[in-house]
Each structure stands twice: as structure tokens, then as C-alpha cells.
Structure 1
Amino acid sequence: MIKMQQTMRWFGPNDNVSLMDIKQAGATGIVTALHQIPVGDVWEVADIKERQQLIREAGLEWTVVESLPVHEEIKRASGNYVQYIENYKISIKNLSNCGIKIITYNFMPILDWVRTDHNFINQDCSKALLYNQDAFTYFDVFLLKRPNAESDYTQTEKENALKFGSQLSEDEKALLFKNVLLGLPGSKINFTAEQILSLLDHYADIDNNKLRENLIHFLSEIAPTASEYGAKLAIHPDDPPFSVLGLPRIVSTEEDLKAIFEAIPFNLNGLCYCTGSLGANPDNNLERIIDDYGDRIHFLHLRNTFRESETIFRESEHLKGDTKMEVIVEKLLLLMNKTNVSLPMRPDHGFLHSVDETKETYPGYSLVGRLKGLAELRGLEMGIAYKLNL
């Protein structure tokens, strides 16, 4: 039987979740990146091998890159983007020559992902990530005061946001600001208002069509290198799967995926199949995405979300949410056994349990919550495999 490779994300030597913690959780593979290297610079072989050796000494293997970040100038097709694309090609070659063939990336402008609450309290007192559109609108219009932001919202949306904000203390407003502008994964440094407004100015003339054009150009440039060295590219969907801060979004829907895959019609141009990001858009049919693009799925993020209303969604338990995880895992098992490919999977995000509250970890990446998710997904996979007689 072909099973999923069980991996967990690790943010490097400064991560308070250790490699030994991850090994004892039952994972065999590590998903990581060289966060210390500035975005756009080449990942040199020596740096890759140093990280690889550190992981191997713990009895694990670096199996997936998440992420090899795409410089903002590539996304905008401006400035030194040609050189940054060349650097990206070299990094793909270096990673592949070191045996690391699955490279995850995203094409979200400025912010990798957005939540308005990093500590929503569940009924059992564990804590989860949550997105509240009223909170985000309040941040955008009344805290950040993005120029022309008011025109992106209806009068009712602005009134609801103002009502939400009127109930916040000054400390709560500061926390909301901090939550929304959390920096890149692996970083604990937040963007400032000045930085984010300056970055937004650079996207003033870039709409969905232009951003998609820039993505396709980028892929057309790096695909030959990926093909030559046997690498697979896995784009991560937008999170959340709709526009924030007036920015374009081009990896949010099934139509978006179709456009990307048709433009570069090669298997190496693939998907990081994130059930949480795709599932946060109720119009996306997650089962159909597997049916239509199974051969493009190179990496799995299995997590779940629950929509409390049209304006609020939150992370839920891995097996309890709007996504029927048992259906998804069954389809993935059938896919892997048909293609004879074992897909790496990590239990994306997890609740913050009381046992981990004293440890400083990146939101969604505490140990116990992900361990629980990994154990549940592993058990679900075994049960379905037995049912299918695989």
C-alpha cells in the first residue's frame, strides 16, 4: 500500500519545537526553509547541506522546501526581477542536486497569510486561529487607514466594522494590528504601518490579470530548470482565498488553478493541496480538485476550517470542520495507489494547548496541537486503507 509521508514543519535552529520533538511525534520527514537567507538571494549548496545534515543527525530527512520565497519584484515584474528569477533557478538547481525535489512557494502579494485573532478560545480552552472580516475591515479602514480603503467596502460593512472596533480597548486594537501584520513564516517581526503602506503603493497598478501574467512569466522561466533537475513546484493557495488590503489574488479558486495549469501544462507545475486555504472558500469543491488535478498535487497540507458565518471562519480540529476529511483522505489514498506516488503530508496548523502555552511558537505551530492532528490523520488513513483493502 502507498501511504502518505508523514512530515512536520520546522522553522530551523531557532524553533522552540525541536527536531527531537518532531521525531517523537511520529513524523519522519521535515518541511523547512532557510529563513536566514534574505528573500531573493541564492540558496547555496553549503547552506542547504548544513541544514540537511542537522536534520539527518536527528534521524529525520528534509523532504520538502516550504517555502523558497518569491521576491516581491518578481511578483510585480519590476526592479531587479530578472536577476531574482535567475537566482531562483540556481536555488532550484542547488536544492535538486542535494536531493530535495519538492519546492513549495506562494504568489501572495506582501502578506503570506492573514488572521485577525491568533488566540480564539475553543470550548475546551485550547486556542485557534480565526479570521473575522469585521475585524479586518476595522483594521484596514480605521487603524491602518489605507488610502481609498473605504471604497472597497459597503456602507454596511463599514458600519459593522466600526461597531466591532468600538468594543475594543486600546490594547486590543494594538493586538489586532499586530495579528494582521505578522511577518513571514519563521519571523517574529511584524510589518509596521509605514512599511505596509509603502509596499501597497507598489501594487497600485497591478490587478488580478497582471499578477497572473507575472506568475505565468515566472513559471515559464523556471519550469525548464525544474524539468532539467527533476524538481516539482507546488504553489500554495491564497490564505485567505479572497482579496485583502485591496491586493490581487490569483490562487483562490478552481478557475485560478485551471488558468495556472493550462498556461504551463507540465506535471512539474503543481499544487500544494491545502484543504484549509482552499476550503475557506465554500465555492471550491475539494474533491473535484483532486479529480481534476491529482497529477499536479505534489504536497499535502491537511487541516480544517469552520465557517461560523459569512464573515468569520476559524481553524477547527483536523477531523471536524466544514471539510469532510475522511472523504479527502480516501480520495488521496486512491490517487496515490493509482499513481504509485507517496505524497508528503503535514498536519497544517494546530490548536495551542495549555501544555504548550509557556513556549513561544509561531501561531498555529505549537507541538501538541500538530501532534494530535498527525495522530488523527494517521489513524484515519489506516482505517480507510483497511476499508479499501489496500
Structure 2
Amino acid sequence: MIESWRWYGPFDRIALDEIAQTGASGIVTAMHEIPSGEVWPRETIAARKSEIEAAGFDWVVVESLPVHERIKRGDGDLEPLFDSYRQSLANLAAEGIRTVCYNFMPLLDWTRTDLAAPVRRGGTCLRFSAPRMAAFEVHMLGRAEAEDDYPADVLRAASAWFEGSDETERETLLASIMAGLPGAFDRYDVDGLKQNLALYKGIDADTLRANFARFLTEVVPTAEELGMRLCVHPDDPPRDILGLPRIVSDAEDLAHVLGSVESPANGLTLCSGSLGANPANDVPAIAARFADRIHFAHLRNVAKEPDGSFEEAAHLEGDTDMVALVRVLLDEEARRRTEGRADAEIPFRPDHGQELLSDAARGTHPGYPLVGRLRGLAELRGVVRALSHSGAAHA
């Protein structure tokens, strides 16, 4: 497996020479400064790649080449947006970058209600509180249908939190929910969020699936021609929020997406944390079912609660059997090697580390601290090495 590290380029407060000390060999990054829908120029890609290689790394995965919101909504003449996406793929391939992670989550990427929830024995982590999310939707956003999306006990807890909160706490909640938008993208205030949610009015899960299928039909053939691999990231959290449908949340969703265009170029980013937040998901079993379409892996863990809340656990703690999951990925690599494939190794990265020790003072992107991810990488490295020793991956 290829040890990699997410780097936000000019937006990142962690430098490449610091990442080198983690032992990772691959960089996962994107051109976050380029607005969604615009072409990534080849010369800009080449400059970023040269910077990465000069620091001793390979640029192994693009995360993410964003899908424009109009494509997700099926809104207007989309051909120029499809053309831009295809051209960006061609420019990446021309520079030798062939694995592209993306998502099809409407409006927001990953969503959390707390960016610094306390962790036992010190440190902080990202957390999704179902009551706080309900408080935001019902009491701050005023979404009329939101009460139908949460059980009564969560709604009661949401009302209690809202009534006991002050304006600063409510602003912090809004900022936390907006924090999943990377790079230079704008954050929304409550009115701005309402306006953008209104653009999705009438778009249900079936409509979103149809729009996703159209996107894949438009871009997967180009990816095939270029020898590229597209790999969709699951929904985070894996449930409908803000009245927006989520359609990449469980095994059947994945089967629908991967089956809509049968091609190795239509693949999966196996995110153990996103899938693991759904109580119905057996993550190692999902990985085994779709192993031949996994082109990239995010390895992290979550601890779930009965009311739908969850938080980021240490990589070898939480609810997902990380050893069993890594065994599935190693077995898939072994299968690929028997086929003589040059791309047998699967890039992975430690995802969403806890903030530990000096992390809090650095002000890095939420969920992407240095020390916390270094701990995760070290633990995952140990699992990979132990399972690989004497063929244990095939036991």
C-alpha cells in the first residue's frame, strides 16, 4: 500500500518538508484555488507537481476535482461544464496523474457540528452531534420539514441546546458546519445557506441519481481513454441532511453508482470513516464486495452513539475493525499482482486525525493536524507491516 498524506498546497500550514518526516511517500492534493467548473491548466498542474517532486514525493491522487453544483442539480446547459471536467482530466493525465477522487454530495462536503470536541486523556476531535445538527436545522435555519428527519429524543435535546445557547455558540455551530468546504470556497451565513438550499428544491434522491449517472456517462469514457481512475468518495455523514438527499451512503448505493457505468475507470474511494458512521454498514464487508473497484482509501475510525451522533476515534479504536479492513485491501493488492497489474498498490492516507499535543496551536484545516495524523499513519503502518509479514495478509 502507498502511504500518502493530504496536503492543501498554498492553503496548508503544514509544509512539505514536515510531511517528509512522517515517512509518507505520496501526496494527495488538488488545485483548491481554482473555482469549481474551471479548467485546471496543464502548466499550473505541472508547477504543483514539480513542487511536490522537488520535496521528494509523488503526487499519487487528486483530491478533489470538484463536480460543479449545476451538474449535481442538472441545471441548464451542462456541456461547457462537462467539457471543462474532461479537459482537466486530460491535463492531469498529460502530467502523469491518473487517480482522481471526487464526491457527489450536494452543496456541502463533510459536515460536523464540533471541530474541537474533547478526547479522553487530552486532545480534541471532530464530532457530529445529531442534537446540534437538529438544533441548527430546526431553530436556526427554520427548515419546516426538519422535524420529520429526527426522532423525538433528538428534537428534545436540540431544543434544550438551542434554548441554553448564546449567539457566540450558535455562530460557532454555523462555522463548524461550513468548515468542510476546502480551500478558497466561500462559507455561507444562514441566509446564504437558505438561498443555496432553495436551488435544490424538488431534487430528490432519484433525481440526484439520474444527474450522477449523466455525469458518469459524460466523463468516464474520457477517463478510460486517458488510462485514469475516478473514485467516488462516500457521503459524510452517510445520511440526508439539510433536506438534501445523499446517495453514496451504503453498499446498495455503491452498487448503483458503480453499476451505472461498468468500467474500471468508475471506481471507489474507500472511506472507512464515512461509511463507518452508518450503523448498518459493515465496512470490511463493503470493501471486500467492491475490492476490484477501490482505487484509493481513506483510513480512519469513528465511534457511534445510539442517537446518530459520532466522533472521530483514534485510527485503531472506534467501531470499524481496521485490521480486518486492511487485510481486505492487502488481499486485493495481492490479487492484482497475480494479474501482473502495474497499479496493484492502493494509495491510502490517514484521515481526520485527532488534534494532539502541539496541533492545537497550528491552526491547520479542521481534521488535518500534523501530530494526530502522524499517530494514525504510524498505527496503520504497523498494521500493514504485521499483516504483510510471512503472508499474514492471506490468513
Please, what TM-score do these two structures have when normalized by structure 2? 0.95
1:52 alignment partner in structure 2: 49
Query: Cα deviation per residue 1:41-74 (whole Å; 9 max; x = unaligned)?
Result: 0011011001001111111111100000000000
CA distance in 2, matches of 1:311, 1:254: 19
Secondary structure of 1:13's counterpart equals: helix
1:93 alignment partner in structure 2: 90
Determine whether 1:348 maps to 2:354. Answer: no
Shift of 1:137: 0.4
Shift of 1:177: 1.5
Determine whether 1:199 maps to 2:196. Answer: yes
Paired residues, number: 387
- Equivalent of 2:129, from 123, 129, 132? 132
Unaligned runs of 5+ in 2: 338-343
Shift of 1:150: 3.6
CA distance in 2, matches of 1:311, 1:263: 30
1:5 alignment partner in structure 2: 2
1:188 and 1:362 in contact (8 A); partners too: no
2:340 alignment partner in structure 1: none
Determine whether 1:327 maps to 2:324. Answer: yes
Determine whether 1:297 maps to 2:294. Answer: yes
1:116 and 1:180 in contact (8 A); partners too: yes
Give the direction of change, closer, same or farther, for the CA distance of 1:123–1:153 in structure 2 (3 Å limit). closer
Determine whether 1:380 maps to 2:383. Answer: yes
CA distance in 2, matches of 1:31, 1:277: 18
CA distance in 1, matches of 2:256, 2:120: 41
1:38 alignment partner in structure 2: 35
CA distance in 2, matches of 1:301, 1:153: 29
Shift of 1:178: 1.2
333-342 or 129-138, which deviates more = 333-342
Query: Cα deviation per residue 1:14-57 (whole Å; 9 max; x = unaligned)?
Result: 31011111111111110000011110000110110010011111
2:259 alignment partner in structure 1: 262
CA distance in 2, matches of 1:80, 1:363: 35
Unaligned runs of 5+ in 1: none
Identical-residue share of aligned pairs (%): 43
169-178 or 6-15, which deviates more = 169-178
Determine whether 1:242 maps to 2:239. Answer: yes
Give the direction of change, closer, same or farther, for the CA distance of 1:304–1:156 in structure 2 (3 Å limit). closer
Give the direction of change, closer, same or farther, for the CA distance of 1:187–1:36 in structure 2 (3 Å limit). closer
Query: Cα deviation per residue 1:219-254 (whole Å; 9 max; x = unaligned)?
Result: 011011001000100000000000000101100011
Letter in 2 for 1:61: D
CA distance in 1, matches of 2:392, 2:106: 45
Determine whether 1:232 maps to 2:235. Answer: no
2:304 and 2:319 in contact (8 A); partners too: yes
Secondary structure of 2:125's counterpart equals: strand
Shift of 1:80: 3.9
1:168 alignment partner in structure 2: 165
Determine whether 1:278 maps to 2:275. Answer: yes
54-63 or 294-303, which deviates more = 54-63
Shift of 1:389: 4.9
1:314 alignment partner in structure 2: 311
1:143 and 1:177 in contact (8 A); partners too: no
CA distance in 2, matches of 1:246, 1:363: 24
61-70 or 188-197, which deviates more = 188-197
Shift of 1:148: 3.9
1:74 and 1:82 in contact (8 A); partners too: no
CA distance in 1, matches of 2:104, 2:223: 17
2:284 and 2:321 in contact (8 A); partners too: no
Letter in 2 for 1:348: D
Shift of 1:181: 2.1
Query: Cα deviation per residue 1:101-136 (whole Å; 9 max; x = unaligned)?
Result: 000000000000110011011112110001011000
- Equivalent of 2:334, from 326, 332, 337? 337
CA distance in 2, matches of 1:361, 1:291: 34
